Amino acid sequence: MISSIIFALLLIGASAFFSINVKKIRRNILLGKDIPLTDNKGERLKTMVLVALGQQKMFARPIPAILHLFLYTAFIITQIELIEIIVDGISGSHRIFRESLGGLYTFAVSFIEILSVLAFIGTIAFLARRNLLKVPRLVMNELNGWPKLDANFILFGELTLICFIFMMNGADEVLYSRGLSHATNLNNGSLGLSISKHVGPLLFGGISDNGLHVVERIGWWGHILIVFGFLNYLPFSKHLHIVLGFPNTYFSNLKPKGQFTTLDAVTDVVAPNFDPAYVAKTDPDNPVRFGVKDVQDLTWKNLMDAYSCTECGRCTSACPQNITGKALSPRKIMMDTRDRLEEVGKNIDKNKGTFVDDGKSLIGDYIKHEEIWACNTCNACVQECPVNIDPLAIIVEIRRYLVMEESNTRPELNNMFSNIENNGAPWQFSQADRANWINEA
Amino acid sequence: MNIIKVPTMAEMVANGETPEILFWVGCSGSFDDRAKKITKAIVRILNHVNIKFAILGSEEGCTGDPAKRAGNEFLFQMQAMQNITVMNGYSIKKIVTGCPHCFNTIKNEYPALGGNYEVVHHTQLVQELINQGKLKVQGGEFKGKKIVFHDPCYLGRGNDVYEAPRDIIQKLDVELAEMKRSKAKGLCCGAGGAQMFKEAEKGTKEVNVERAEEALALNPDVIAVGCPFCNTMMTDGVKHYNKEDKTKVLDIAELIANANDL
C-alpha cells in the first residue's frame, strides 16, 4: 500500500515536471515565425515513417546504424513493459498481464530481454566510439564540456537501466523456481524469460530467499526511477531527438534542396517596378526585419530543428568547409541556435513572460561571421541529417540579415553585387558583349 | 569543326520564327574563356541534331543565383524579374541551361516570381536526345579511357539529377569510376554559395584541392563535370597537383562533342 502511494506520487511528479518543461520547449519553438507546413500530408507522413520510424538515413553509415537500431528498437518495445510496470506500481500487483496474456507475455518479455542485451552491446560500443576509438565527429572541440558529458551520461544511464532490468527479471526467475515469486504460479517451473532464465540462476542462484526479494525490488524500483529520471532529463538534453525526430521529419522541407525561400517582403518592394498592378503580400504598416539576427527571427521549424539535433555531427563531417579546416560546422550552427533559444526562454521566464533585450544576438554572440561566410550552400549537411534538420536555411537567413540590414559582408561579395547590378554578370563585363563568344575563334 | 549557328531570340522573332527551346548560356558560359568552349560544345550538339534554338544574347542577364546564395535577395529578385520580363515577352516555354546554378534558379526560384518554364540541364537534354535516337554517340578518342564524374551540388543534391550525366558517359564506351563521395554524398568543388567570388575563409586547405585529390586518387584520364564553376575549380585542383598532362577536366557536353567530331 505504501509503495503504491509512493509510486503514484512519483508518477504524478515525474509527469508534471516533464509536462512543465515540454510546455516551455513548445513555447520556445513557437517564438519562431509562422510558416505553413501542413500541405501534402501523405508525403509528410511517408517521410516521417521512412526517415524517423524507419531510420532510413541512418543506414548511409551501416555500423552506427545497426548499433543505433539495437537501442532504438529496445527503447520502443520496452514501452510495452512499461505499461505493466505502471499498472503494477499503482495497484501493487506483480506481472499483472502474465496470466491473461500467457504465451504472448512470455514472448514479449523475452523479446524485450534479447533487445536489451543487444542494446547493452550497442551502448558499450557507443561509449567506446566516443571515449576510446575517438571517432572524429564525436570528439570535436565544439563538444567540449556539457555536450560530451551529456552524451556519456545518457549512455551510462542506459547501461544502468538494462542492469536493473536483468536484476528484476533474473531475481524473479530464481524466486519463481523456488515457488516464492509474487507472479502467478502457472505450474511451469520457470517464468520462461529468454535471457533471465539462464542468467538469473547464474548470477543470483546463491542468494537467500530474502536477499532475492531485495534484489528483485532494487531492480524494479531502479528501473522505473531511471525511466522517470530519463524522462525529465530529456528536456535538458540533446537526447530530445527521440521525441522530436518524429514531428521534425513530418515537417521536413519537401521542395528540391536547391530551392531557397522567396522573401515576400522583398518582392513587395521589387515587383511594383515591373508590374504597376502588383498587390503587396505583406503588411506595409508592419515592416519586418530582412533575414535573421536572432532566434525570434527564425521560423518555428528552424527552432524545432535546433531542439531535434542530437549532435551526431554527420552534417559537420560532410561539410566541405569543415573538412578543410574552416570554422564553419553545421552542427555548431544548430547547437548555437538551441543554446541561444534556451537563453531567450530563460530570459522570458525571469521577466514574467516577456523578453527583455539582453544586448545579445544569435549572429555575433553565438555564431561568428567567418562561419556564415564560409558556407558553400552545397546541402551536404541537409542531406546527411538523419532527422532532416536544415542548418543551411539558418545560414542563408543570417546572410540575408547581414547583407540587407547591415551591409556587413565580405568586400569581394560587394564587388560581385555591384557587377551584377551594373553589368548583369558577377564579373566586370558589359552585358552588350554577352554574345561575343559566337564569333570568337 | 563546323561553323556554329547561334540565332538570338530577337533575330528569330524578326524572322517570324519560334524556337523549340531557349539556350540559357549563363554568365560563365558567356564570359569565361574556358566555359565558352563548353558553350560552343553545347551549340555543336544542338546544331548537329538540328534543334531550333535561340539564345537571349545581350538580353540575358545573371539569373541572380550568386546574389541569392550570398544573401542579397533584393538583387536576386531584381535580376529574376528582369529576366522573367524578357522571357515572358518572348513566350518562352522550354529552357536548357549550360550551368546547374542557372538551371536550379530558373527552375525552382523563378516560378514564385512569375516565371514558369520547363527547365532542363544540358546533360538531361543530351540524355533525352540519345534516348530518342536523335543523337548517336561513340566513344571516339575517349574509348576505353577512365572517366570519373564529379557531381555538381545544384544538379545532384539540389535537384536529384544523378543519372543523366552518368548515363551519357557510359554511352562513350569508357570506364566510369566513382569517388567514395559521389551522388548524394558528393563533395562540393568549393565554388558554390558565392565562394567563387571571394577568398576562402581561414582554414587549412582549399576545398577544390581536397576534391581534386579525391578524384586524382582514382588516376582518371578525365574528370567529367557538368558545371562551368566546378570546371574551374577542378582544373585548378588538378594543376595544384601538376597532373594536367595526365588528367583532363572536361564538361559532359565537350565529351560528347569531341568524341563525335560535332
Q: Could you tell me how far CA A203 lies from the centroid of its own chain?
A: 37
pLDDT at A188: 80
Q: Give the span between the Cα atoms of B239 and B234, in whole angstroms.
A: 8
pLDDT band, residue A284 (cuts 50/70/90): confident
Which candidate from A263, A370, A424 shows the least CB-CB separation from B202?
Answer: A370
What is the rounded average pLDDT of the residues A396-415? 97
Judged by CB atoms closer than 8 Å, whether chains meet at B153 and A377 is answered as yes
A:283-342 residues touching chain B, CB 8 A cutoff: 290-291, 318, 320-321, 323-328
Taking the Cβ of residue B111 and every Cβ of chain A, the question of whether any pair is shorter than 8 Å is answered with: no
Nearest to B61 among A318, A321, A424 (CB): A424
Q: Do A376 and B104 touch (CB under 8 A)?
A: no
Contact A260 B204 (CB under 8 A): no
Q: Which of residues 202-221 of B touch A (CB under 8 A)?
A: 202-207, 209-211
- Stretch A283-304: mean pLDDT, rounded? 94
The CATH class for the domain spanning B9-127 reads: alpha beta
Question: Which run of H or E residues covers position B248?
Answer: strand B248-251
Q: How far apart are CA A277 and CA B159, in angstroms?
A: 33
pLDDT at B3 over 90: no
* Whole-complex ipTM: 0.96
Which helix (H) or strand (E) segment is B254 a member of?
helix B252-259
Q: Closest partner residue to B31 among A323, A401, A425, by Cβ?
A: A425
C-alpha distance from A279 to closest chain B C-alpha (Å) = 13
CB contact under 8 A, B211 and A320: yes
Paired with B96 in beta bridges are B23, B120
pLDDT in tens, B178-208: 999 999 999 999 999 999 999 999 999 999 9
Determine the residue type at B63: T
Cα–Cα distance measured from residue A293 to residue A216, given in angstroms and rounded to the nearest whole number: 55
Please indicate whether, in this complex, the C-beta atoms of B62 and A426 are within 8 angstroms of each other.
yes
- Which of A378, A427, A438 is opposite residue B4, by nearest beta carbon? A438
Judge contact between A88 and A105, C-beta under 8 A: no
Interface test with B, best of A376, A390, A431 (most B CBs within 10 A): A376
| Residue B6, pLDDT score | 96
Q: Which of A191-205, A277-291, A354-368 has the lowest mean pLDDT?
A: A277-291
Q: Does domain B137-259 have CATH number 3.40.630?
A: no
Domains B9-127 and B137-259 equal at CATH topology level:
yes
Distance from CA of A308 to the nearest CA of B (A): 22
- Count the helices and strands in chain B (H runs, E runs): 11, 8
Do B85 and A321 count as a contact with CB atoms less than 8 A apart? no
In this complex, is the C-beta atom of A42 within 8 Å of any C-beta atom belonging to chain B? no
Q: Please name the residues between 13 and 42 in chain B that touch chain A, using a CB distance below 8 Å.
A: 25, 27, 29-31, 36, 39-40
Dist. CA B239–CA A216, nearest whole Å:
70
Half-sphere exposure of A133 (CA within 13 A, CB side): 10
> Of A209, A212, A180, A174, which is closest to residue A193 (Cα–Cα)?
A174
pLDDT of residue B261: 86
Confidence of residue A321 (pLDDT cuts 50, 70, 90): very high
| Residues of chain A positioned with their CB less than 8 A from the CB of B8 | 435
Helices A391-404/B73-89 angle, 10° precision = 100
Which chain A residue's Cα is nearest to B1? A441
The Cα A357–Cα B245 span in angstroms is: 61
CB atoms A262 and B75 under 8 Å: no
At A209, list the grid cell.
530467499
Share of residues in chain A with pLDDT > 90 (%): 93
Indicate the residue of A326, A373, A400 with minimum beta-carbon distance to B73. Answer: A400
Which residues of chain A neighbour B193 with C-beta distances below 8 Å? Answer: 375-378
Chain B residue numbers with beta carbons less than 8 Å from the beta carbon of A375 are: 193
Q: Does B180 touch chain A (CB under 8 A)?
A: no
Per-residue pLDDT of A95-148, as tens digits, reads 999 989 989 999 999 999 999 999 999 999 999 999 999 999 999 999 999 999
Summarize the confidence of residues A293-301 as an average pLDDT.
98
Q: What is the pLDDT of residues A162-179, one digit of tens each?
A: 999 999 999 999 999 999
The answer to whether B150 touches B215, Cβ cutoff 8 Å, is yes
Residue B1's pLDDT band (cuts 50, 70, 90): low
Q: Which of A369, A379, A321, A142 is nearest to B205 (CA)?
A: A321
Q: Does A269 touch chain B (CB under 8 A)?
A: yes
A379 touches chain B (CB under 8 A): yes
* Distance of alpha carbon A26 from alpha carbon A348, whole angstroms: 13
- How would you write chain A as a 3-class SS string? CHHHHHHHHHHHHHHHHHHHHHHHHHHHHCCCECCCCCCCHHHHHHHHHHHHHCCHHHHHCHHHHHHHHHHHHHHHHHHHHHHHHHHHHHHCCCCCHHHHHCHHHHHHHHHHHHHHHHHHHHHHHHHHHHHCCCCHHHCCHHHCCHHHHHHHHHHHHHHHHHHHHHHHHHHHHHHHHCCCCCCCCCCCCCCCCCCHHHHHHHHHCCCCHHHHHHHHHHHHHHHHHHHHHHHHHHHHCHHHHHHHHHHHHHCCCCCCCCCCCCCHHHHHHHHHHCCCCCCCCCCCCCCCCCCCCCHHHCEHHHHHHHHHCCCCCHHHHHCHHHHCCCCCCHHHHHHHHHHHHHHHHHHHHHCCCCCCCCCCCHHHHHECHHHHCCCCCCCHHHHHCCCCCCHHHHHHHHHHHHHHCCCCCCHHHHHHHHHHHHHCCCCCCCHHHCCHHHHCC
Instruction: Delimit the domains of chain B by residue range.
Output: 9-127, 137-259
pLDDT at site A264: 95
Q: Decide if pLDDT at B2 tops 70.
A: no
State the average pLDDT for chain A: 96
Using CA coordinates, name the residue in chain B closest to A260. B109
Residue B47 C-alpha, separation from nearest chain A C-alpha, in angstroms:
13
Q: Which three cell numbers stand for residue A346?
A: 530563460
